[in-house]
Chain A
Amino acid sequence: MQRAISAVTRRLVILIPYGWLLFFFLIPFLIVLRISMSTSAVAMPPYTPVFDWSEGWARIRSALSELSFDNYVWLAGDPLYLNAYLSSLWIALVSTALTLLIAYPMAYGMAKAPTTLRPTLVMLVILPFWTSFLIRVYAWIGILKPEGLFNQFLLSMGVIREPLIILNTNWAIYIGIVYCYLPFMVLPLYSALEKMDHSLTEAALDLGCTPIQAFWRVTFPLSLPGVIAGCLLVFIPAVGEFVIPDLLGGSETLMIGRTLWNEFNGNRDWPVSSAVAVVLLLLLVVPIMLFQTAQARAERAEREGR
């Protein structure tokens, strides 16, 4: 009897969140997939349903044969989308590299900071994350504008004679992404570097490495899990980023998140925007799987560690 109750509780504990995620996370994706294979219509909702839920299997089978890949063919044929995908990947790649470049010395410095100071430094890295994403992006508009604070500063210092055009270029997007995602890079790097045994570096020095050699041969390779986790945490959301390119990028900057948004809200072409989303997801499957395995490995290591 008791056993039965605990089995029921166990089942409920699993089933409630599982069911929720199935219904609100997985099924929506299947719907996106389905709609991406139907044709658009001027109606509400603006697509012709591929099949009705109510008409049973026979109807579904005949509907399956009606599924069309027209939207995908159209996507492949339109250079606009192709360019948007490629430039999203490129922008995300450059931004990730820049973020790593800034974050690594920072995380390294934090890991070497006096132990009493470290929690404060970590909190200071996390703190901006708590303020609104939108606000943080918005703050850069005022700085990067041609008559903005950055240009005013440079002009008054006499470094430049004419204001630099940064806002509405890819550079503004890079700055925005680096700025917004910096904590996501610093924290995994810091936790990888912080738990590293300092005597390893000392051993390398003792065995004849210069400090720089010791860094590249010992410290850096050991921090690689943190580097990978950080890069994925920046790269994946950056590819589909909408707010940053929309507010900081120029009108000619193509990023897929923004293209999808415009397709959906502007053109009201739901099947095409679904197809755009499906392809974006396919592009991200590999990095997301990498992230999952990294997470699973960390989880396992944590569990076996105790």
Chain B
Amino acid sequence: MGRWSRFNVASIAIGFAFLYLPIVLLVVYSFNESRLVTVWTGFSTKWYGTLLTNQALLDAAWVTLRVGVLSASAATVLGTLAALSLSRYSEFRGRTLFSGMIYAPLVMPEVITGLSMLLLFVAVGLDRGFWTVTLAHTTFTMCFVAVVVQSRLQSFDRSIEEAAMDLGATPVATFFQVTLPVILPAVLSGWVLAFTLSLDDLVIASFASGPGATTLPMRIYSQVRLGVTPEINAICTILIGIVACGVLIAALVTRRRELQRQRDERAAFAEGMSRAINPPPAAAGG
């Protein structure tokens, strides 16, 4: 292994400082007593209190949450199907177009996606509102789910599906009893990703939404345009807190599972070794 030089450590430290300092400052100043965000006058949580009375904001949060859960769930189903067709059926008509449509939204400028969605809804005569935002979010997030699930399927041992069929499971039974449980972690993280992207999106939602369906980012954006206020810092801090907790829990769970797995594997290996050196009488016969 190469040495971890001082230069390496420094570049990582600077990089992370750059990544985290703005967020830390934002959180810190949400507890500032002064209305002037950048002058520290003392610790206070009063801005959090005022949030609770802001009905428009609470409504927006509720809309965002519903859109997020619905679109993430639909996107997970669609994205998983897309990933399955891409990794399982190597040849079908229009596969290139299909994989193009999966990868393009990942890098497509949001203004274009948003505009085209809006024009579609107008063309088919769908009134813009809650459902159009949900449809738009489903469409662009399903591509992210597809990519996440597909990368799991890439390393999936197909022979376990064959084993299931060999043991009498029909293709449908095989999918639900073997394939899905094994790729479930990827499917779930796809859902979380889709949900986060939906919570996060401003541009596409602004295009696809109509009266009565203002999402939280839209509400925050219209306030941010008026200037930096401690209330916005407070909302942001809450959102960051929620995300941080979620990610932390997920990380701890996977880490613990990973550690457990490693311990198990080491134990099994040691057992195998001792058996190879010292075969028990039952196995040594023959």
* A touches B (Cβ under 8 A): yes
B4 near A114 with CB under 8 A, answer yes
Neighbour of B236 across the interface among A103, A135, A148, CB < 8 A: A135
- Whether A253 is near chain B, meaning CB under 8 Å from some CB there, is no
| CB under 8 Å from chain A, chain B span 1-51 | 1-5, 7-9, 11-12, 14-16, 18-20, 22-23, 25-26, 29, 37-38
B residues sitting closer than 8 Å to A (CB atoms) are: 1-5, 7-9, 11-12, 14-16, 18-20, 22-23, 25-26, 29, 37-38, 78-79, 81-82, 84-85, 88-89, 92, 94, 97-105, 107-112, 115-117, 119-120, 122-123, 135-136, 138-139, 142, 146, 154-155, 170-172, 196, 199-200, 202-203, 207, 217, 220-221, 224-225, 228, 232-233, 236, 239-240, 243-244, 246-247, 251, 255
A10 near B89 with CB under 8 A, answer yes
Q: Give the segment of A54-62, A154-162, A220-228, A277-285 that binds chain B.
A: A277-285
Report the nearest A residue to B12, measured CB to CB: A109
B82 near A17 with CB under 8 A, answer yes
Chain B residues near A152: list those with CB within 8 A: 38
| CB under 8 Å from chain B, chain A span 238-284 | 239-243, 247, 257, 260-261, 264, 270, 273-274, 277, 280-281, 284
B84 near A280 with CB under 8 A, answer no
Report the nearest B residue to A28, measured CB to CB: B116
Report the nearest A residue to B88, measured CB to CB: A13
B119 near A21 with CB under 8 A, answer no
A141 near B224 with CB under 8 A, answer yes
B120 near A134 with CB under 8 A, answer no
A residues sitting closer than 8 Å to B (CB atoms) are: 2, 5-6, 9-10, 13-14, 16-18, 20-22, 24-29, 31-32, 35, 45, 102-103, 105-106, 108-110, 112-115, 119, 121, 123-125, 127-128, 130-136, 138-143, 145, 147-149, 152, 179, 182, 186, 198, 201, 232-233, 236-237, 239-243, 247, 257, 260-261, 264, 270, 273-274, 277, 280-281, 284, 288, 291-292, 295-296, 299, 302-303, 306
A291 near B20 with CB under 8 A, answer no
A242 near B107 with CB under 8 A, answer no
Q: How far is the CB of A260 from chain B (nearest CB, A)?
A: 5
A280 near B112 with CB under 8 A, answer yes
Q: How far is the CB of A17 from chain B (nearest CB, A)?
A: 4
CA distance A299 to B136 in the complex (A): 27
Chain A residues near B97: list those with CB within 8 A: 26
CA distance A138 to B236 in the complex (A): 9
A291 with B78: in contact, given A20-B139, A135-B236 (CB under 8 Å)?
no
Neighbour of B18 across the interface among A102, A113, A236, A257, CB < 8 A: A102
Report the nearest B residue to A126, measured CB to CB: B247
A131 near B243 with CB under 8 A, answer yes
Chain A residues near B244: list those with CB within 8 A: 127, 131
Q: List 9 A-B contacts (CB under 8 A).
A: A18-B82, A18-B85, A133-B202, A135-B26, A149-B38, A233-B107, A239-B109, A277-B111, A288-B104
Report the nearest A residue to B99, measured CB to CB: A296
A16 near B200 with CB under 8 A, answer no
Q: How far is the CB of A29 from chain B (nearest CB, A)?
A: 5
Neighbour of A260 across the interface among B3, B20, B115, CB < 8 A: B115
A240 with B110: in contact, given A16-B78, A16-B81 (CB under 8 Å)?
yes
A280 near B109 with CB under 8 A, answer yes
CA distance A182 to B22 in the complex (A): 14
Interface centre among A103, A113, A130, A274 (most CB of B within 10 A): A130
Q: How far is the CB of A259 from chain B (nearest CB, A)?
A: 9
B11 near A108 with CB under 8 A, answer yes
B78 near A17 with CB under 8 A, answer yes
Chain A residues near B7: list those with CB within 8 A: 105, 109
CA distance A268 to B247 in the complex (A): 41
A13 near B85 with CB under 8 A, answer yes
Chain A residues near B107: list those with CB within 8 A: 232-233, 236-237, 288, 291
Neighbour of A25 across the interface among B18, B105, B199, CB < 8 A: B105
B2 near A112 with CB under 8 A, answer yes
Q: Give the top 3 A-B pairs by smallest Cβ distance, nearest first.
A: A240-B109, A28-B116, A105-B11
A133 with B200: in contact, given A18-B85, A112-B4 (CB under 8 Å)?
yes
Chain A residues near B255: list those with CB within 8 A: 119
Interface centre among A24, A114, A149, A247 (most CB of B within 10 A): A24
